[in-house]
Amino acid sequence: MDYNTNYERWLNHPAVDEAMKAELASMGEKEKEDAFYTNVEFGTAGMRGILGPGTNRMNIYTIRKANVGFAKYVLGLENGKERGVAIGYDNRHMSYRFAIESAKVLATYGIKSFIFESLRPTPELSFAVRYLKCAGGIMITASHNPKEYNGYKVYDDTGCQLIPEWGDLVVKYVNEVEDELDVKVCSDEEAYPYMTWIGHEVDEAYYKEVMGIEINPGMDKSGFKIVFSPQHGTSNIPVRECLGRLGYDVVPVLAQCAPDPDYTNTKSPNPEVPASYELAIKKAKEVDADVVVICDPDGDRLGVVAKHDGEYVLMSGNQSAAVYLEYILSQMKEKGTLPNNAVMYNTIVTSDLGELVARSYGVDVEKTLTGFKFIGDKIRKYEKTGEKTFVFGYEESYGCVVKDFVRDKDAVQAVLTAAEAGNYYKKQGKDLVDILNELYAKHGTFKETQIALSKAGAAGAARIKEIMDNLRKDAPTEIGGVKVVASEDYQTSVRYENGSETTIDLPKSNVLKYYLEDGSWIAARPSGTEPKCKFYFSIKGTTADDAASKTEVFHKAMMEIIGE
């Protein structure tokens, strides 16, 4: 069905209210095409898109359609109806409405739901699924995306986002829905008997587990100051409760504490964007804080700024995770609690530094595709077999999990780890950046960067496909004057090296990775949640300046190769 036919179907359908029809009528041709040329789809982190009318937008009709698919998945599980589904939501526009619509669709299929009484962070939803022994979970969030977005993530009964094996089944059921506007939904009155509100009990159970991750719980916390911002999102209460109960001196950025869907007082809700730290760093300078921590709106990602030599230094997700690892593993080793079969998980686009830190302590490392569901699935498998013991998992995009009572990335846990590590090292006359520099001296200097090419709409999707197709047809043999010694194509599951091919034992994914002769690597991957083609650079240098200089060369060379 072409976009004009789809558009006319919505414009004239009796289920679409007058307000939405007025919005449709005001659309320009380009906006109309983008809203209707395709369906909003599941990616690495569920379904995410711009709010508004259209098949390629987040609205009550696309939410209902998605929930039909998830409801049928739950019905296929043992006692799925009775075990029910936990539902959480963040501070975004329409989040509460989408949560209620989700519960109503589930009720239409006779499935119970357990809905948080107010907004909660994504990791607490993951925890709630496990705590309440639900058959699955739903989180309404668009994570760190701009205010125009919202999203929908689904979880299995372990609190892990659905892996492809189960996610594909949900997609199959979703695609069986011929018309999202004709999805039958029971009334509020009919849904109420299936709906249970949850709150304080789950909160307290979650807080107890989070506070229990401390490695040195008796450590004096005086003289260590933390500035914290939830970026108008869900982590405000959990983080301040946990840090406060443990005795930390926390200074909140009050202007960013209210759960504002428009993110009024931040330039970006994304910790990957340096501008998002402006108010927090200003506050840190006022109070002479040791560490700044900011969470993204749904509380699963954490950004860290450390005071170093009188300046506030922003650490990347790769850098902060390497320091967390060093702290956790060194302390476990010192206390004799590091398991002999310990394993750490990260992804194929994560820096090599964390792996080197882990292996220096005898910890095994396993890589997964991008998407924390793959790390959660690894935890589940080894939990069953007992073959390995989980000690840490992280992605480069500012997300990690310390203890596996949550099976998604957890910024609340990460805040406590950053605070404890920062306090511990301060007592030794060091800061988090000092520890990072020590790791560089020991393992080599790395600089990790990204280029994200935004390519919106049908033309953008075609251009992203063209970029990836061209890289496959004409694979680079050198980049920036440095020889490519090996490459990996995760779509075909093949690694090429020295004229031979080996199989990559991971699910198929549209990712290309190039290993360079100098120990650097570059990867290309279309985003699973945004209209972007991402390029990841992990550049190894002899010094920080050398790595930075080489990074500029590789950035320019890669853009020339793809014609941008």
Output the DSSP codes for 155-198. E-TTSPBPPHHHHHHHHHHHHT-S-GGG-----HHHHGGGEEEE
* Strand 42-43, strand 46-50: pairing: antiparallel
- Strands (DSSP E) contained in 288-349 are 291-295, 302-308, 311-315, 342-347
- Residue 500 has a pLDDT of 94
**Active-site residues: which are they?**
143
Mean local confidence (pLDDT), 338-358: 97
- C-alpha span between 65 and 69 (Å, rounded): 7
Cβ-contact 51, 61 below 8 angstroms? no
- Residue 45 has a pLDDT of 64
Cβ-contact 400, 318 below 8 angstroms? no
- C-alpha span between 199 and 482 (Å, rounded): 55
Confidence of residue 43 (pLDDT cuts 50, 70, 90): low
- C-alpha span between 317 and 511 (Å, rounded): 20
Nearest to 153 by CA among 95, 108, 232, 209: 95
- Residue 44 has a pLDDT of 62
* Per-residue pLDDT tens digits for 467-497: 999 999 999 999 999 999 999 999 999 999 9
DSSP-derived secondary structure letter, 272: T
- C-alpha span between 263 and 149 (Å, rounded): 12
Nearest to 512 by CA among 503, 524, 502, 521: 524
- Residue 324 has a pLDDT of 98
- Residue 458 has a pLDDT of 84
Mean local confidence (pLDDT), 259-282: 96
* Per-residue pLDDT tens digits for 147-172: 999 999 999 999 999 999 899 999 99
pLDDT above 70 for 380:
yes
- C-alpha span between 243 and 247 (Å, rounded): 6
Q: Give the bridge partners for 497, in sequence order.
A: 486, 500
Strand, coil or helix: 79: coil
pLDDT above 90 for 530:
no
* Per-residue pLDDT tens digits for 288-324: 999 999 999 999 999 999 999 999 999 999 999 999 9
- Letter for the amino acid at 159? G
Domains along the chain? 38-201 (3.40.120.10), 222-443 (3.40.120.10), 445-562 (3.30.310.50)
* Per-residue pLDDT tens digits for 542-562: 999 999 999 999 999 999 999
pLDDT-above-70 percentage for the chain: 99
Mean local confidence (pLDDT), 510-523: 96
* Per-residue pLDDT tens digits for 45-100: 679 999 999 999 999 999 999 999 999 999 999 999 999 999 999 999 999 999 99
Nearest to 71 by CA among 114, 107, 47: 107
- Residue 77 has a pLDDT of 98
- Residue 528 has a pLDDT of 73
543 Rama sector, left if φ>0, alpha if ψ -120 to 50, beta otherwise: beta
